[in-house]
Structure 1
């Protein structure tokens, strides 16, 4: 967690080919220039290895934020609105034509890239751009949290852990704000969206998901148990030789209700995505749907764990163990003593844990289970400890899971989604664009419409001789991005 989105890519587009402005003649040219910068940044980001992408995310966010005031100005000019006290007049001269490659739609042919979607509206181009910005904020939150899950290096200090979680929470709330704005904006659209990625249900679901992830981070910041489990698995840790890990008391009941709120938001997001019926590209991809369901299960299991901690602090060890069994049931696992001897599910779980650890170390596609394995480790650690105490000292009866789950309270929210404010150009920028453009708006005009098919034509492809004609370059010259 958070979900590893893929940033969409787009084709080149010249605003002057479809828009003119009498009040600010240079506005279309400047918009084309900044859009071209965003396009190039998204292409370069896509071609980087996954482990190297995180360091370029701040640059992408900065470039998108620099482009948005221009496209919002054109959008305002179409309605003869004003910015900074200046009226903007923009006229549509022809239907715009650009392309975007969806990233969360289902794939018609498994293993192959989703085809590009043709966009003939500035509105949908703006929605795609803002969606990319929201995904970039989520990916930056992932990058901030990654050091907390690495067990091969030095332990993260308490201050560094708090800083990482606070930074990730800020980025997730920014993403939620952007997606919420898009959901409200798409409600006013009468025509159906050209693809699932920018539909009203999807944007609302992404806002709920980002809010759910931010809510669960509010719990993680003061939850000592995942850090204790990670410390126990860290091969470089030597602290166990001279002191036991510090486990401060937590506000267990409050944290449990926060987890239930996160589960409710994830369930809402999952329901919205599943409402989109269809096959292939006309539905949300299965990977995102699985993540939403895993996130809901993890949040409910964590809530059960905190109810168990609250019971154990009150001396009710039997109830505490019952809540831990509720947590394992929510995760889809069985208690250790439920099966004797070898268990296929237990072997499969151990293999999944090792595979997830390798993903974390490599920094590729980690957390795709929304934290299920991590939460299972914490619950099993507490179950072993409390079972020993209950068998030797307390000897209390363990209530059934059905009885405990029927007493779950409602969730409690801690965050609210702030309203996203569309950026505006400064007065100085608007005044400078009253002059006529100093060059032709032909950015990308001679380039292919593909968002990522550009290759250097002077390079000789592998397997071809230098004298091979340009119209025959072999299979190696094709782009599979």
Structure 2
């Protein structure tokens, strides 16, 4: 369940005010036009209903892919590198100033994140590439949603969705890794926490954790069984229990542990960063717990397949404790009241509605869904052990101390910097027509997007506006 990123928006600028080129005089004008299109696309995407944004991601990605090569052309001109086999003579007239709205920084409840002023082409490049990485993660999220809908996908649709989401995760990981390596040359940290080394490093670890967990989801039959069980249209009263080979169960456990380790690294990096969005911090912790709980579940399956039902139950109880839930079978659970069962059913229905409406589902990194799988297996194995096996259930803490090491599955991909094609470079040799003006965008800054004159916070003195930051008021 990828994190539900919010795409940032930006103000309009004209690159003609900051750069000039004697070899390719049309480059600043073309860059301004491409950025104006991207700015409009981002602002329109933001105003769309949450349920409609997934279908618009391809449009945002196309605008980003059109704009990013121009940024690298400017970067090549400033650094003296060649672009499409040509040298670009670029002169910096004055330092570039841009504004981007931060989406990963912490803000006061009810207020929109502020728009931060940034200087240098490097900041513009980092924010644009980060936005592209968010789009890849959101596309993976849209693909995975089809796996949890009430109408179960066919095996072919399931394989296609998982393959597409894995590809998107690895693409996002390559971008974040590239930005971390590039930021190693910085002497000072940027003003926006979104493009800081700590946050980009954490997002690189987070996307790798999610990509690793996807490899397990591809062959994990238990979530599908849970979805079928709560499907009202399912008329099967009896079905054959799912089977999973013993060797693969142990392999899946090690893959889940590797995912948990990546999430733990991301959590440590985010804790070192300042003013990070609390929802991202919580999501990272939930992903770490979910991945480790899955590892416990697969180790329990491995034990149950070997005839050690008591040990398998202990693994499942340990998995629930990792998720922060009460272990089924404890005295507290046996004494649970009817009200707690109603509360559980209400939470399950609420999560199902989130998936159906595509609003806020999976923000817990799949922790609640994994809890459903654990409950199903615990009920089944406990009944078997109470009536047939009657094995002792060892303490789960002892088993958790013997967990194996994680195993990596993916090899990180290298991000290939996009470059302008030769025809575009040749066309920019000609000077721009004096009658042509760069397209800066048709979308005007709305009141909620303009931070230059922030309103007074409710209950605060007028002089205290800078302490509360910009954004919309509560009323």
TM-score by length of 1: 0.89
- The residue that corresponds to 1:326 in the other structure is 318
Q: Secondary structure at the match of 1:10?
A: coil
Cα drift, residue 187 of structure 1: 1.4
> Is the contact between residue 35 and residue 440 of structure 2 (CA under 8 Å) also seen in structure 1?
no
Paired residues, what number? 449
Whether the 8 Å contact between 1:11 and 1:451 is mirrored in structure 2 is no
Query: Aligned residue for 2:70?
Result: 70
Give the conservation status (yes or no) of the 8 Å contact 1:12–1:449: no
> Which among 440, 444, 454 is matched to residue 444 of structure 1?
440
Mapped to 1, the partners of 2:228 and 2:441 lie a distance apart of 55
SS class of match (1:310): helix
Q: What residue number does 2:19 align with?
A: 19
- Provide the residue aligned with 1:300 in structure 2: 292
Which sections of structure 1, spanning at least 5 residues, go unmatched?
Answer: 278-282, 455-477
Contact in 1 for aligned 2:43/2:443 (Cα 8 Å): no
Give the equivalent residue in structure 2 for 1:462. Answer: none
> What is the Cα deviation at residue 341 of structure 1?
2.9
CA–CA separation in structure 1 for the residues paired with 2:345 and 2:321: 17
Using the alignment, how far apart are the partners of 1:58 and 1:146 within structure 2? Answer: 17
Indicate yes or no: 2:167 matched with 1:175. no
Partner residue in 1 for 2:421: 426
- Aligned partner of 2:240 in structure 1 is 244
| Residues 273, 289 of structure 1: 8 Å contact kept | yes
Aligned pairs (5 A) from 1:188-337: 188-238=185-235, 240-241=236-237, 243-244=239-240, 246-249=242-245, 251-277=248-274, 283-337=275-329
How far is 1:348 from its partner?
A: 5.1
Question: Counterparts of 2:447 and 2:42 in 1: how far apart (Å)?
Answer: 9
Instruction: Kindly indicate whether residue 41 of structure 2 is the aligned counterpart of residue 41 of structure 1.
Output: yes
For the 8 Å contact 2:286–2:365, the answer to whether it is kept is yes
CA distance 1:480–1:63, change in 2 (3 Å): farther
Deviates more, 1:330-339 or 1:284-293: 330-339
2:336 matched to which residue of 1?
342
| 1:95-132 Cα distance to aligned partner (Å, 9 max, x none) | 2222100001100x211101100012110011000000
Does the 8 Å contact 1:9/1:452 carry over to 2?
Answer: no
Is the Cα contact below 8 Å between 1:117 and 1:194 reproduced in 2? yes
**Contact kept in structure 2, 1:183 and 1:204, CA below 8 Å:** yes
Corresponding residue for residue 55 of structure 1: 55
Task: Give the distance between the partners of 1:117 and 1:453, measured in 2 at CA.
Answer: 11
The alpha carbon displacement at 1:440 in A equals 4.4
Give the Cα separation in 2 of the matches to 1:332 and 1:47.
Answer: 36
Query: 1:299 and 1:479 mapped to 2: Cα distance?
Result: 38
**2: distance between equivalents of 1:349 and 1:183?**
42
* Structure 1: 4+ residue segments shifted above 6 A: 449-452, 478-481
TM superposition shift of 1:443:
3.3
Judge conservation of contact 2:40–2:442 (CA < 8 Å) in 1. Answer: no
Q: TM-score, normalised by structure 2?
A: 0.90
Confirm whether residue 363 of structure 1 aligns to residue 389 of structure 2.
no
Query: Do residues 103 (structure 1) and 95 (structure 2) align?
Result: no
Aligned to 2:116: 117
Q: Alpha carbons of 1:347 and 1:196: their partners in 2 closer, same or farther (altered >3 Å)?
A: farther
After superposition, give the CA deviation of every residue in 1:371-421 in whole Å (9 maximum; x if it has no partner). 111111111111111111111221211111111011011101101211101
Superposed CA deviations along residues 146-190 of structure 1, whole A, max 9, x for unmatched, are 111112xx3211121111111111001100110111111111111
Could you tell me how far apart the structure 2 residues matched to 1:362 and 1:8 are? 23
Question: Which residues of structure 2 form unaligned runs of 5+?
Answer: 451-470
Tell me, in whole angstroms, the C-alpha distance in 2 between the residues paired with 1:301 and 1:242. 28
